[in-house]
Structure 1
Amino acid sequence: MIDCLTGKILKKTPDTVVISCGGIGFAVQVPAATGGSLPAPGREATLYTVMNVTENDVSLYGFATEDQRACFKMLTAVTGVGPKAGLAILSVMTPEKVALAASSGDHKAFTKASGVGPKLAQRITLELKDKVGKGLASGTGFASGADVPAPAGAPAQAVAALVSLGYNTSDAAQAVARIDEDLPVQEIIKIALRSLSRT
């Protein structure tokens, strides 16, 4: 398995990057967020990869961070979510937003991704809700450890804090998901507490 590629970017489009490593140009499919964050052609970059081998195809999928790659693996483990849908979801959502949407049961957030309809979005939240919720509640992100990302940003810390105050994970995640993720943790917690006290 190819874990990561480090080399010079030869060509870059919003959904594909060709990266030269050891004289070989690897064509790697990437989510739009990754394509936009990589340097211009001619500069060096590292992509964390997942290789998908089927009867008729061998494809490489690349990500700017290990969190994105782990989130992709988690998403594609859901029944009905293939690599194309996984890339589409990560093109419109960060791993942390995936975690918050899944744990709060917000299936509509997943329908913003191209090719993800309401039924598939509901399946994603159903299959990931408990797995993601336990990790957010403990402050580690996801329950199963190294195979999936562990969001450490302000929203994940706020959910963990609210759960430690006695709120259930789903309610805490729903309250936090409606708040600007760029705010400091303390501010997110204050706003979420106000929202939760009204319900």
Structure 2
Amino acid sequence: MIAKLKGIIDSKGADWLIIDVHGVGYLVEASARTLAALPPPGEAAEVFTIMLVSETAMRLLGFATPQERDWYALLADVQGVGPKVALALLSALSPAELSTAIAMGDATMLTRAQGVGPKLARRICSELKDRLPETLSVPAETAAALAAQAPSGLVDEEASAEAKDAISALVNLGYPKTQAASAVASAIQEAGEGADAARLIRLALKGLASA
């Protein structure tokens, strides 16, 4: 099993790359997002991989980050999602966008990917909502931006700054204030009082998705 390749990018195509590792060129299939994230030919790179073995062929799939590789494994495990569709989803959406879409049950967001219709998108949300990886995160700057867009006086003054930011972000995403506050309260119970806004948002979204 080849889990990672480290070498020089030899060439790139629309959905593949060749990476030279000590004189051996490995052909690796990849999403458009991965190809864009990797350096141009002639430069050093590290590619995280999954090997697919069948009776007739061996294929290497490459990812720019371990998070993308983990998401591929999750997506490919859903009925109706093969390697091509899983890579299409990773081309259309970042791991953070996938996390948010599935946590919120936003099937429409998943249909951005080629080959993903409404029925398959709903199945992905349903099957993966309770299997979101711990790498699910909302960047701190995103949480702050969402909170800043929310109306003033949205949350109780007694709430911590982190809780206020989390509740404000959820309201800005479309959740009613009472529902957002309840979800964040549950998240605080799970994560503890010292959790930052990004973690509270992540846990609250998971709770809302499974409610």
Does TM, scored on the shorter chain, surpass 0.5?
yes
Match of 2:138 in 1: 153
Q: Does the 8 Å CA contact 2:39/2:45 hold for their aligned counterparts?
A: yes
The structure-2 alpha-carbon separation of the partners of 1:9 and 1:27, relative to structure 1 and needing over 3 Å to count, comes to same
Deviation of 1:13 after TM superposition, in Å, equals: 2.0
Match of 1:164 in 2: none
Q: Does the 8 Å CA contact 2:76/2:86 hold for their aligned counterparts?
A: yes
- The code of the aligned residue for 1:197 comes to K
Deviation of 1:104 after TM superposition, in Å, equals: 1.2
**What secondary structure sits across from 1:131 in the alignment?**
coil
Q: Does the 8 Å CA contact 1:14/1:36 hold for their aligned counterparts?
A: no
Check if 1:192 corresponds to 2:151.
no
> 1:9-56, CA deviations, whole angstroms, 9 ceiling, x for partnerless residues?
110123111001122111101110110111110111000000011122
Percent identity among equivalent residues?
Answer: 38
Q: Does the 8 Å CA contact 2:167/2:177 hold for their aligned counterparts?
A: no
* Higher Rg: 2
Q: Does the 8 Å CA contact 2:88/2:115 hold for their aligned counterparts?
A: yes
Give the Cα–Cα distance (whole angstroms) in 2 for the partners of residues 197 and 23 of structure 1: 59
Deviation of 1:193 after TM superposition, in Å, equals: 3.7
Check if 1:8 corresponds to 2:8.
yes
Number of residue pairs matched by the alignment: 158
TM-score (norm 2): 0.68
Give the Cα–Cα distance (whole angstroms) in 1 for the partners of residues 73 and 119 of structure 2: 20
Deviation of 1:151 after TM superposition, in Å, equals: 2.4
Deviation of 1:191 after TM superposition, in Å, equals: 3.8
Match of 2:28 in 1: 28
TM-score (norm 1): 0.72
RMSD over equivalenced CA pairs, Å: 2.4
Unaligned 5+ runs, structure 2: 144-161, 180-211
**What secondary structure sits across from 2:129 in the alignment?**
helix
Give the Cα–Cα distance (whole angstroms) in 1 for the partners of residues 36 and 167 of structure 2: 31
- The code of the aligned residue for 1:192 comes to L
